[in-house]
Structure 1
Amino acid sequence: RTNPRTITAEVFHPGCIGGSCSATVSHRPTNDDSASPECKGTGCRLSPGVSQQQQPCVGESCRAQAGDNGRRKSSPVRVMDRAAQFLGELPDFGLDRGAWIQLACDVKPSNEVPSEDSLVLQLQLSKSQDRFVEALKGQQNEVKELQRLLSEQQGALVNQQREILQQQRRMYEQMEQDRDECLEISHLCRDKQKCTNTPGFKCQGMTARDANAGMCGHGYFYSSQMDECQACSECDGEPVVSPCTFLTDTVCTGPAVADASALSLSWSGDMSLQGPKGQILVQAFPSVQLHIQERAVAGLVSAEDGQLVLRQHGLVWLDAVLSLSHGCRSFIQVCLRINHTDGSEGRDLSGIRVEHRERRSLQSVSISGVAEVGPGHIMSLFLRSASHHCNQSSEGLQLYDSSAAMLSIFWLSHDTGAVAMTAQAMVSAHYHTNYRPAFRVASTSDPYVVGLTHDGRGIRFAESGTVRFVFQQALYSMGQACVSDGFQLVAYLNKNGTSLEMFRVFKPGVHYRDTSLSLSGATTVGPGDAIGFEILSPAQCNVRFFGDETGISLLSLFWVPAAISSSLTASVANTGLPSGAVRNKPLFFHQTSPQVPQMGLLGKGSPNQRKDFVFRESGTVSVALDLKLIHSCNLIKVTLLRRGDPEGGREAEGLRPVPVAQQVAGQMLEGSQWASLSLRASFQVYNGTAVFFILDCVRGRVNQISQQTGSGVSALWVAA
């Protein structure tokens, strides 16, 4: 063997010399062998000729015996004592000369690894290699993501540079092609006025009243900021949001396509009565559908046959502001309804009652609702009469045609984790003064996050987030005190057992009439917080509260996680309130909520301080404004305007603010001390977008605006 650790045992037979030992072995048995009583040891397994008479010589004495024979060569016997003892125990194991026994033992080298340890080592090595490969793949993915972000940023930068170049080109073209209207058009200004050529033209001494009378002429409008007449803009094939008037420029918008990865989107549209534009005479109508028209083509919703058809899954919050007058002997109810894809199993999302008044005047109505929708769902608005006593031509139905959008939609993707809920107010069969409504859940998309308190009088929240809510309550009141003092609807936020008043709105009361109260707001909530409501009535006013399946007494809300949303609240400022003959006067506010990075009211040092609400991140915003005031105006208007470039948020020089929404109301109710006005809208914002409110009084004056209670604004922002 080649193994160096082989152990060899050699046995020397004294009678064996050379290689002829095997031939001289005697196979005859000896007397000692025959005398053995029994066979023992390994000799029994050998042939009889192998047994020997004598035991092999072991030890040092063998060398002495071998020394006598000079022809023999004595070789030492290398054997361990243990092997000698073993051979000595075999008396029958006798060999002839030349017989050798070799014992070999294979021992593994110390540097060889056992098979089990080798397998474990190989597995560990393979796992390490797998982890190393995964780490390399992760680094490669990160590098690819960084490259993608870099390419997107480069593309955005290229687009911005392209837009800047286009704006510069348009400015140069406008400067090169500017007309000199003062020379081309004779008698453009009055005799005592002097015409000055500008990018349009300017008549010295011209007032807004002259411009409103049409002095600028066809194709021009009067710019109050530049104090001159400017040419109306052309939309170049894009949809026209609002046409050019004597005082406003044409508003254009491009087609918007809904982004599948967007978290929130908005949409706006108009409403009108079916038939000729303006006043329409309706005789004995049980129900009239409002015709919805979209202002821009979008992938979110589409207007078909006067109805809204939803195109994407998600949560939808709808706000509608309209002004109407009617001569019906009972109330008219504005209803928001949703139908499924097949048109069946429809239900009312909201309902507002517009009371009958002895002297007809425009009444402002704000209606809101929330629903979980999918592609093919249909939303529509109706006007329903409680009776058929609208059968005279003088008692027709009139809807005021606003210059701004009357309908807006706030859409939330399911990826936001938002929750929608509606709760029905329980019917109260008794008369009350102060009333705290109790609710039962009508629908909810996640009962864990949003649910009712143990007594049903509050809405509790399990996680932090931002909430937009609206509560409307239908009632019937009796007593002159109801008219003079009116009603107040209050919303409370309960934190750790302490109730804090958040919002309060005012509504003029009625005597022996049906009407509705409505309150909408936005706030931030935490785990365990709850929202409750209370209706405050005059002492000598008997009130009965109603509730049914038409949504006239319903709480609607949606909750958005705090990571992608924020809220803002502000009250009307004590100073700078418009009063007297108010014509397009801005409203000033004081922010009452903590500062948030996404939006805020401009502070000191800005020319638009306490007037502009500025947004610093792109997203979708829902705004609600309530005013409590005293006025003698035939028409009182409040308008929400957006300032800044819709694409980049940067205000271009000479770009006029765009109206987002407008609410119009008529004369105050006779016998009431105060009047109320509410405006709600949803719209897109970008970094740098600013919005503000203006108040306008037509043929009258504004005497007072309450800054204590009943007047304020709330806003909800959700990331785009």
Structure 2
Amino acid sequence: MAALSGALLVLELWSAAVLGDVRALDAPCRGAQCPGSEALPSRPCFGTHCPAWPSRPGRHHATLAQRGHHAEPYTVVTPQRGSRARSGHASSPECAAGADCAPLHRRTANDTGDCRGIECKLPLRIRPKPRAKACVGDGCPRGSEQAGVPPALVHIPDRAAQYLGELPDFGYPGSDLGGAPLGVQLTCDVKPGENEVPSEDALVLHLQLAKGQEKLVEALQNQQTVIRELQRTLVEQQGTLISQQQEIVEQQRRMSEQMELVKVQYGVLFEAVKRASLQSLQGDVQDFFESHLQGLQDQVRTHLHKSYAVHKVDVDAKVMDVGSPILRNCGVCRQEEYCDFQRDPPRCERCTMCPPGFFLVSQCSQNADRICQDRDECLEIPNLCGERVKCLNTPGGFRCLGLSERDASAGLCGHEYFYNRELEECQACSDCEGQPIAQPCSAASDVVCGSLSENMLSHAWGAAVTLPPAGASSSHMHPGVQLHVQGKEDSDLLSTEDGRLVFLQHGLIWADHNFALKHSCRNFLQIYMKLNTSEEGVDLSGVRIEQPDGKYFQSVSMSAVAEVEPSYMLSLFLKSPNHYCNQSKDLHVYELSTPFSLFWLSHDTGAVAMTAHTSTSVQYQTNYRPAFKVMSVSDPYVVSLTHDGRGVRFTESGVVKFMFQQAVYAMGHTCVREGFSLVAYLNRNGTNSELTQTYKAGVNYRDTSVSLTAATVVGAGDTLSFEIFSPAQCNVRYFGDSSGISVLSLLWMPSAVSSCLSATVSRAGLPSGAVRNKALHFHRATPGVEQVELVGSGQLARRNFIFRESGVASVSLSLKLIHSCNALKLTLHKQGADRPQPAAVAQQVGGQMPEGTEWVSVGLRASFEVHNSTMIFVTVDCVRGRVNQIAAEGSTNISILWVAS
């Protein structure tokens, strides 16, 4: 027992030296000045006066001596009341000097204020309670065992193990030397000595992690169950989709059978009606069945579109394997193709493209076509038509209620939209789908896809014309206001730039412009056409517009011919001779359908263009024959003036398109009552024959213009001349200068590439009374030609002109009548195989005649493309009034020119 106590004491002394608690020692006492043990029992004593301590030779003592410490034993002093015991070691050399030191005492076994080893690292709640420590060694008081207090054994294996680990001579190496201390200590990713986790808390954490892992595994199993259920539901939906598609195919087959039955019944009924020779009933029945058949077709298309739009489902590729036997009927369709189940058997069809104004809902797949939906522009774009104008969505576009063509031509429809005059709504521009764009989309026309042929002979082009805004700096009419030309599209021949036409190729052009307005200016207005070359500008043509009181619309038509080169520019201007009408806001222009049009001729056609002006004349009271002076001619050998300058001579036979206009100033009431007549004559073999004539209502003390245009066939040596008839006692002054107000424009073409036809209004069936969009009937005045003819039988007899070859048509119409309409509208319609519904290609408006007893004239001019089976006809519309009489001969005629393309 004494040996065990001695070993434990040595371990305690070594632990104090290693842990460095030298700070706990009190200052040592040196020499004879040290008090006795009775006065200061708590201070250790060093030196010769201290009580003798038995020397204990041994290994531990030698070890201490080797480390530089004295061999005196480490003493535990019993603390006084209210104080703690302090411990130290004899490493200080003060007591070695021989001073008197107090005797040393051990710490009592009841002191629990200090802890050592692993006990200090345990929490307070699990730290073992302090035990009474036994006194080991010779220094203990005698008789303790005799007093009945046995020496208590120190049962602290953890601390002993730690001490043994720290001593290299005993037990295992310490942690700092690479060894593991005895005992169990759980740590969770911590650094030793900083934030170790107690073994009890680590065990609780480990149990919680194990429980959380079990819950995670259970949640994953539940998710796998849900996924399997969803896969089963998708398989059921695929089966439902396939059954619905089969029903749709069956419904389509039954509808097709019904349509075939209706066609057979219609054929039987049509044959019966044909045998009965009931033409009127035949037409009614035909219209009824055609409308009924068209309605059935629309219902079928609508039903199929809705069915596919509702039942289309996007499924996974693995689920699509359920319907693989049906899909394999089409095989593998190529890209941009789908399997059409409407066919029997199903086959691959090309995917349709979304029309303009529609957006893509679903892409084209192997078993379904592409699905498109109409774009609601009124909903997507707020205030599209303005705050006070209602917007109405239409398929592929929108409609602004109350929108005029003038506003649409100004670009109100917006980017990538154009104004459709037939439907009177804004439509989305078409997509050429990779094809070249011959004519881009504009504010007034859709895009034209494809490229123009390099060897074409002719080409027609149309445009809208608008005035500049009233507040713009260019709206002063005294120097001249440029009208803004907005073409349907640009082409390889010309383009638009700042409201002007810019030509891109060589050739000859014929331009027509219809214009109607009412104004309150104190004099006439003049509209003219100007050609700007690289050097200077030339006035091609000019027409004067009277009617200063602004009560009704005054209409004029103007034409011009010119030889153009690349970079030449054509412009339209409106001007006033004085400052009394200096703002464009004083004008009210009527919105006409395609008021400006022209056709272009290649030099390969061999055509010849000539422009001649008349000279100023004195007052006349009788007839007037103008004299001309040539301003320009492309080939003087073919076309030239006569020796007196009053006629045009032709050296070769061909077809001639001409226009003559004369500016006059009239004085006298007889001028108003009887008006003017302009007559064109063709002299052949010394005999004059009247070609055509036009009528112009007279004016009193006003400026006006008289104009005539037509087409005719001429032979070699023929001459063309003109004469103006004025009433008796009517003083008239005729103007002529280089400004274009009195000009002759003429275009000669070989007969191999052109032909013409003229007709007058038929006496039978002339419209009268309250006329509402009634068609005029004509009587052919010239021999027929192969390219164009007047329909002779059927419902369209004597009403429609039909073209048999593709090309360009140039039409001029003049109508003489008496009416009391508020506005008289004259419209030229065009229809064909590619356009079943008639479309207006040109319009003109005549103003009101309050008395309804005077003759007036209304005329229009236009050029446009035609194809085989294209038909044209003319309608008259009287707004609030009636038509009293239409002249059947003389000044009412139509002239049609055809040119090969």
TM class by smaller structure: 0.5 to 0.7
Alignment-mate amino acid for residue 485 of structure 1:
E
Whether the 8 Å contact between 1:425 and 1:554 is mirrored in structure 2 is yes
Task: For 1:626 and 1:693, locate their aligned partners in 2 and report how far apart those are by CA, in whole Å.
Answer: 11
Where do 1:268-279 residues align within 5 Å?
268-275=462-469
- Compute the displacement of 1:285 (Å): 3.5
1:264 is aligned to 458
Alignment-mate amino acid for residue 714 of structure 2:
V
Describe the SS at the equivalent of 1:176: helix
Instruction: Indicate how the Cα distance of structure 1 residues 285 and 423 shifts in structure 2: closer, same or farther if over 3 A, else same.
Output: closer
Where do 1:346-357 residues align within 5 Å?
346-357=537-548
Deviates most, 299-308 or 479-488: 299-308
Alignment-mate amino acid for residue 613 of structure 2:
Q
Describe the SS at the equivalent of 1:502: strand
Task: For 1:631 and 1:569, locate their aligned partners in 2 and report how far apart those are by CA, in whole Å.
Answer: 25
Whether the 8 Å contact between 1:301 and 1:308 is mirrored in structure 2 is yes
Matched, 1:456 2:654: no
2:564 is aligned to 373
Instruction: Indicate how the Cα distance of structure 1 residues 392 and 526 shifts in structure 2: closer, same or farther if over 3 A, else same.
Output: closer
- Identity between Structure 1 and Structure 2 (%): 51
1:309 is aligned to 502
Alignment-mate amino acid for residue 177 of structure 1:
H
Alignment-mate amino acid for residue 348 of structure 1:
D
Matched, 1:585 2:779: no
1:603 is aligned to 792
Whether the 8 Å contact between 1:241 and 1:295 is mirrored in structure 2 is no
Instruction: Indicate how the Cα distance of structure 1 residues 220 and 539 shifts in structure 2: closer, same or farther if over 3 A, else same.
Output: farther
- Compute the displacement of 1:437 (Å): 0.7
2:756 is aligned to 567
Instruction: Indicate how the Cα distance of structure 1 residues 396 and 598 shifts in structure 2: closer, same or farther if over 3 A, else same.
Output: same
Whether the 8 Å contact between 2:420 and 2:426 is mirrored in structure 1 is no
Task: For 2:559 and 2:424, locate their aligned partners in 1 and report how far apart those are by CA, in whole Å.
Answer: 30
2:394 is aligned to 219
- Compute the displacement of 1:664 (Å): 1.2
Alignment-mate amino acid for residue 261 of structure 1:
N
| Structure holding more strand per residue | 1
Alignment-mate amino acid for residue 526 of structure 1:
G
- Higher RCO structure, 1 or 2 (CA under 8 Å, sep 6+): 1
1:245 is aligned to 424
* 2:484 equivalent among 275, 279, 291: 291
- Compute the displacement of 1:430 (Å): 3.3
Instruction: Indicate how the Cα distance of structure 1 residues 592 and 311 shifts in structure 2: closer, same or farther if over 3 A, else same.
Output: same
Task: For 2:639 and 2:489, locate their aligned partners in 1 and report how far apart those are by CA, in whole Å.
Answer: 35
Task: For 2:415 and 2:484, locate their aligned partners in 1 and report how far apart those are by CA, in whole Å.
Answer: 27
1:398 is aligned to 588
Deviations 1:509-567 (A, max 9, x none): 11111100000000000001111100000011011100111101100010000111101
Whether the 8 Å contact between 1:434 and 1:534 is mirrored in structure 2 is yes
Task: For 1:449 and 1:371, locate their aligned partners in 2 and report how far apart those are by CA, in whole Å.
Answer: 16
Task: For 1:708 and 1:503, locate their aligned partners in 2 and report how far apart those are by CA, in whole Å.
Answer: 10
Task: For 2:521 and 2:450, locate their aligned partners in 1 and report how far apart those are by CA, in whole Å.
Answer: 41
- Compute the displacement of 1:256 (Å): 6.1
RMSD: 3.2
Task: For 1:424 and 1:357, locate their aligned partners in 2 and report how far apart those are by CA, in whole Å.
Answer: 27
Task: For 2:664 and 2:639, locate their aligned partners in 1 and report how far apart those are by CA, in whole Å.
Answer: 27
Whether the 8 Å contact between 1:423 and 1:556 is mirrored in structure 2 is yes
Instruction: Indicate how the Cα distance of structure 1 residues 338 and 255 shifts in structure 2: closer, same or farther if over 3 A, else same.
Output: farther
Describe the SS at the equivalent of 1:563: coil
- Compute the displacement of 1:170 (Å): 10
Where do 1:516-527 residues align within 5 Å?
516-527=705-716
Alignment-mate amino acid for residue 219 of structure 1:
T
- Compute the displacement of 1:391 (Å): 5.3
2:655 is aligned to 466
Instruction: Indicate how the Cα distance of structure 1 residues 174 and 427 shifts in structure 2: closer, same or farther if over 3 A, else same.
Output: farther
Instruction: Indicate how the Cα distance of structure 1 residues 290 and 251 shifts in structure 2: closer, same or farther if over 3 A, else same.
Output: closer
Matched, 1:534 2:716: no
Whether the 8 Å contact between 2:514 and 2:596 is mirrored in structure 1 is yes
- Compute the displacement of 1:356 (Å): 3.4
Whether the 8 Å contact between 2:422 and 2:840 is mirrored in structure 1 is no
1:549 is aligned to 738
* 1:576 equivalent among 737, 753, 765: 765
2:574 is aligned to 383
Deviations 1:416-462 (A, max 9, x none): 00000011112212324200111111110011100111221111101
Instruction: Indicate how the Cα distance of structure 1 residues 460 and 248 shifts in structure 2: closer, same or farther if over 3 A, else same.
Output: farther
Alignment-mate amino acid for residue 708 of structure 1:
E
1:184 is aligned to none
Alignment-mate amino acid for residue 383 of structure 1:
L
Where do 1:8-47 residues align within 5 Å?
none
Alignment-mate amino acid for residue 803 of structure 2:
F
2:262 is aligned to none
Alignment-mate amino acid for residue 812 of structure 2:
A
Deviations 1:12-54 (A, max 9, x none): xxxxxxxxxxxxxxxxxxxxxxxxxxxxxxxxxxxxxxxxxxx
Where do 1:130-141 residues align within 5 Å?
none
1:717 is aligned to 898
Whether the 8 Å contact between 2:446 and 2:489 is mirrored in structure 1 is no
- Compute the displacement of 1:178 (Å): 7.7
Instruction: Indicate how the Cα distance of structure 1 residues 246 and 283 shifts in structure 2: closer, same or farther if over 3 A, else same.
Output: closer
Task: For 1:248 and 1:628, locate their aligned partners in 2 and report how far apart those are by CA, in whole Å.
Answer: 37
2:433 is aligned to none
- Compute the displacement of 1:360 (Å): 2.9
Q: How many residues align?
A: 494
Whether the 8 Å contact between 1:301 and 1:309 is mirrored in structure 2 is yes
Instruction: Indicate how the Cα distance of structure 1 residues 361 and 282 shifts in structure 2: closer, same or farther if over 3 A, else same.
Output: farther
Task: For 2:855 and 2:306, locate their aligned partners in 1 and report how far apart those are by CA, in whole Å.
Answer: 51
Alignment-mate amino acid for residue 621 of structure 1:
A
Alignment-mate amino acid for residue 581 of structure 1:
A
Task: For 2:536 and 2:868, locate their aligned partners in 1 and report how far apart those are by CA, in whole Å.
Answer: 42
| Structure holding more helix per residue | 2
2:692 is aligned to 503
Matched, 1:339 2:555: no
Whether the 8 Å contact between 2:419 and 2:427 is mirrored in structure 1 is no
Instruction: Indicate how the Cα distance of structure 1 residues 508 and 670 shifts in structure 2: closer, same or farther if over 3 A, else same.
Output: farther
Task: For 2:711 and 2:871, locate their aligned partners in 1 and report how far apart those are by CA, in whole Å.
Answer: 19
Unaligned runs of 5+ in 2: 1-295, 308-388, 397-412, 429-443
Alignment-mate amino acid for residue 631 of structure 1:
H
Task: For 1:448 and 1:640, locate their aligned partners in 2 and report how far apart those are by CA, in whole Å.
Answer: 37
Whether the 8 Å contact between 1:256 and 1:297 is mirrored in structure 2 is no
Whether the 8 Å contact between 1:569 and 1:591 is mirrored in structure 2 is yes
Deviations 1:477-513 (A, max 9, x none): 1000000100000001111011111111000011111
Describe the SS at the equivalent of 1:481: helix
Task: For 2:603 and 2:852, locate their aligned partners in 1 and report how far apart those are by CA, in whole Å.
Answer: 49
Describe the SS at the equivalent of 1:713: strand
Alignment-mate amino acid for residue 360 of structure 1:
K
TM-score by length of 1: 0.64
- Compute the displacement of 1:671 (Å): 9.0
Describe the SS at the equivalent of 1:328: coil
1:43 is aligned to none
Instruction: Indicate how the Cα distance of structure 1 residues 312 and 487 shifts in structure 2: closer, same or farther if over 3 A, else same.
Output: same
Alignment-mate amino acid for residue 369 of structure 1:
A
Describe the SS at the equivalent of 2:889: coil
Matched, 1:326 2:516: no
Whether the 8 Å contact between 2:647 and 2:720 is mirrored in structure 1 is yes
Instruction: Indicate how the Cα distance of structure 1 residues 682 and 172 shifts in structure 2: closer, same or farther if over 3 A, else same.
Output: farther
Matched, 1:701 2:879: no
Instruction: Indicate how the Cα distance of structure 1 residues 386 and 614 shifts in structure 2: closer, same or farther if over 3 A, else same.
Output: same
1:427 is aligned to 616
Describe the SS at the equivalent of 1:389: helix
